[in-house]
Structure 1
């Protein structure tokens, strides 16, 4: 099984980004790298923290806003549960969500899963690309969505770019500068949508 060990986000201000990641408790698997390259608009991916109850969503969003994050979509109830979207100081989009609508305990900054969701032009083609690079699909819904077995640190899934942007509350327009490097044991390559992978 291919394992994603880490994610590196490129930003002109890695110190601020590191403080943000530390506040969310994700700095073990997410780091920041200095870059002068500028990206604008939607970067083509989101990071998600899946948690167990609504008050934990609120706690994460409060920590994000207290450490340089900005609100994209305020936390609210929906048909599927409860969640909100924030943008980190490095430009990355974070969704914090739970399928639960009730609190059953105290709010602790503990996430069940950290998910990297890539917005791609053609889910079927990108899924095949990753299959050809040794990844294993665990769940798939035709041309709409695919999820892979990538170990306990970071989960990987594919979604249509426009659908992902809409889910995040953003316009799908943006530069091709994703400013994220996926660190794994799968080798060095760039996928059909320009996402870079490096060996760690």
Structure 2
């Protein structure tokens, strides 16, 4: 099965971006940065989601992200689905931090259970078929609305929304063009998906 080993974020100042991520989330080598200044405007068609165990962890991670320079797109609040919020890093990458729990059940930690790359695509069905043909296995699917693929505990999971739904989920306008400013590191590349998301062999 194909797996996402790392996400590389392209930024004009990769050193500053890397320092932000170390301070904000401390995710180690799973999130990498490199120089990139390709033109991009508006919504880049993707977001990264950190799935955690309880609201206190959401607040802790969002708090350090804001302290490190992130801006709030959606304040952390309770919802029907649990508790979560959305911030945007100084390099423009959007981050969602969420839990299905509505109350803390133990001491607050900064442990992240899952990292999920959320892609807002033009045609969910077509993208689903593309990824299945490239070795990914579907774990959940809701027609043309949402698809989630299997991922091991050591890899980043992949999920697909329609572009408008993805933008709404993270609190931004769906309009945007240019570079996604993200490269997906895999053990099954290189290839580019129908929406222009590039996959390449993960760096050692």
1:179 and 2:181 equivalent?
yes
CA distance in 1, matches of 2:181, 2:26: 21
Counterpart in the other structure of 2:157:
155
Counterpart in the other structure of 1:170:
172
What's the secondary structure of 1:157's corresponding residue?
A: strand
What's the secondary structure of 2:21's corresponding residue?
A: helix
CA distance in 1, matches of 2:148, 2:82: 20
Unaligned 5+ segments in structure 2 are none
Report the CA distance between 1:176 and its aligned residue: 3.1
Counterpart in the other structure of 1:5:
5
Q: 1:9 and 1:55, CA in 2 relative to 1: closer, same or farther beyond 3 A? A: same
1:28 and 2:29 equivalent?
yes
CA distance in 2, matches of 1:44, 1:36: 17
The 5 Å alignment of 1:35-54 reads: 35-54=36-55
Cα contact 1:44–1:118 (8 A) shared by 2:
yes
Report the CA distance between 1:45 and its aligned residue: 0.5
Unaligned 5+ segments in structure 1 are none
Say which is worse superposed, 53-62 or 32-41, in terms of deviation: 32-41
CA distance in 1, matches of 2:68, 2:97: 15
Residues 140-181 of structure 1, C-alpha deviation per residue, up to 9 Å, x if partnerless?
111111111233220001110100000100000111310100
Cα contact 1:176–1:194 (8 A) shared by 2:
no
Count of residue pairs the alignment pairs up: 200
Report the CA distance between 1:87 and its aligned residue: 0.3
Counterpart in the other structure of 1:65:
66
Residues 87-107 of structure 1, C-alpha deviation per residue, up to 9 Å, x if partnerless?
011111000011111112222
Moved over 4 A (4+): none
Counterpart in the other structure of 2:112:
111
Residues 101-130 of structure 1, C-alpha deviation per residue, up to 9 Å, x if partnerless?
111222211111100011000000000011
Residues 42-82 of structure 1, C-alpha deviation per residue, up to 9 Å, x if partnerless?
11001001111111100000110111211111111111111
Counterpart in the other structure of 2:102:
101
CA distance in 1, matches of 2:91, 2:103: 32
Counterpart in the other structure of 1:14:
14
CA distance in 1, matches of 2:66, 2:109: 16
1:128 and 2:108 equivalent?
no
